[in-house]
Amino acid sequence: MTEGLQREVERDEGDGVDIFKILQDEASYEPDPVHTGPITKETEVIAIYGKGGIGKSFSLANLSYNLARNGKKVLLIGCDPKSDTTSLLFGGRSCPTILEVSAAKKAAGEDVSISDVCFKRDGVFAMELGGPEVGRGCGGRGIIHGFELLEKLGFHEWDFDYVLLDFLGDVVCGGFGLPIARDMCQKVIVVGSNDLQSLYVANNVCSAVEYFRKLGGNVGVAGMLVNKDDGTGEAAAFAKAVGIPVLSAIPQDEDIRRKSASYQIVGDPSTKWGPMFTELAENMMSAPPRQPTPLDQDGLLGLFSSEETGADWVLEPASPADMCDPSLIEKVSLEVVYDNV
């Protein structure tokens, strides 16, 4: 056991917490079966994926607000352990997460009600799944557990036009791929920018969609949202290469940055940026799910100039002699030879 883990265990034992028992229970936990009951309403569930920090929460808060102002009933669900999807919507305030409320209610012997975890603003309904503290559990399993709680609260009977799911794309464990793997959504939108790392994540999501389609899945990619668009065009080139449309491009603009930083909604149809989000909403609603053709690593690098990425570098294999003193490698036998005999 490492010294750091030993200290963590001692601290938890002092608090009366058996961390090993918690981890063992979590490791043996299996998700409930996939919902097979009748669908009572044709709600469109859309999962939005992208690299952490690319602007999914900003985009979704404004998109959901725009949809609601245009007469749609929308539910926004944050599926990121950071639990920051709804912050912009609620003026910077964080709402209690489903996982933390569930734990507190369970300890008190009470049931979770929808009023404990779902909050609303101007026609937008929103909630956060939440996740474990760092080093205290698996975020992916938290996602699975959170959706099971939603099903118990009546998720499949809720009366919404659109349910938007905000997912991290650069975490590849099973829980974060749940909507794609278990056909929990009808389509996926990827959010990216004109940088290699965000497009790498978008490409990974396209690969996941392709993989599960081959296994009989039905989820497709509706398109790409380009955020912080500086006009260089790499994200649009990526979308064209994998066979998906660009639904909208949000410019890299100082006014948007300042308003977002101060938790102001810019997606209201009556504001300066409102028509841009209305166009995004219309394109999202009408775009059919497609099966993308993901790129390999060389294909991704080819979207950028070699001066920006080092794509013209040639791999040079290392030899055993590079790793240590060659005299320590050239042993003809295991016999010990004494030089001064």
Burial code of 251-273, b = ≥16 C-beta within 10 A, e = fewer?
Answer: eeeeebeebbeeeebbbbeebeb
- Residue 170 bears catalytic tag: yes
Cβ–Cβ < 8 Å for 258, 252: no
Provide the Cα torsion 295, 183, 53, 237; round to 10°: 30
Cβ–Cβ < 8 Å for 168, 80: yes
**Distance in angstroms (rounded) separating the CA atoms of residues 155 and 41:** 11
Name 210's Cβ contacts closer than 8 Å, sequence gap at least 6: 291, 292, 293, 294
The residue annotated as part of the active site, out of 72, 73, 82, 240, is 82
**Distance in angstroms (rounded) separating the CA atoms of residues 303 and 323:** 35
- Residue 82 bears catalytic tag: yes
DSSP label at 41? Answer: S
Q: Is the dihedral of CA 276, 300, 57, 281 positive or negative?
A: positive
The residue annotated as part of the active site, out of 56, 187, 228, 259, is 56
**Distance in angstroms (rounded) separating the CA atoms of residues 100 and 21:** 19
3-state secondary structure of 91: coil
Provide the Cα torsion 177, 182, 187, 188; round to 10°: 0
Phi-psi region of 170 (alpha: psi -120 to 50; beta: other; left: phi over 0): alpha
- Residue 187 bears catalytic tag: no
The residue annotated as part of the active site, out of 170, 229, 259, 268, is 170
User: For residue 144, what are its two tokens?
Assistant: 């699975």
Cβ–Cβ < 8 Å for 151, 32: yes
Residues designated catalytic: 51, 56, 82, 170
